[in-house]
Amino acid sequence: MEKEPTNGEKKLTCGDKAACMQLLEMILDGQADDDQCAQLESKLEKCLPCFEYYHLEKTIREVMKSKCTNKEVPKDLLSNIREIIAKA
């Protein structure tokens, strides 16, 4: 097991990647409570892979949200989609 950094450096590997990724997803999805948010904040200060993944995923979600919301959809495209759904 990797030793905790003592000089402010972040760990280069994550000791519990699956649990960390689940926590990160919960927070990014807005489903985490205050204790979980505090846990993540502490984790991000110490773990480089979690820090990088969190910021990458957060940036991707922000870009997707800005590109996929409040856009006019051509009426013929909308009616085609509705027809396909109705037939299914």
The pTM assigned to this predicted structure is 0.62
Three-state helix/strand/coil letters over the chain? CCCCCCCCCCECCCCCHHHHHHHHHHHHCCCCCHHHHHHHHHHHHHEHHHHHHHHHHHHHHHHHHHHHCCCCCCHHHHHHHHHHHHHC
Q: Which pLDDT tens digit goes with each residue over 23-49?
A: 988 998 999 999 999 988 888 888 998
- Alpha-carbon Rg of the chain, whole angstroms? 20
Q: Which two tokens stand for residue 61?
A: 């979600």
Locate the domains of the chain by residue range: 17-87
Q: Which pLDDT tens digit goes with each residue over 66-75?
A: 877 767 888 8
Phi/psi-derived region of residue 46, left when phi > 0, alpha when psi is between -120 and 50, beta in every other case: alpha
Residues in the chain: 88
Q: How far is 87 from 18, CA to CA, in rounded Å?
A: 40
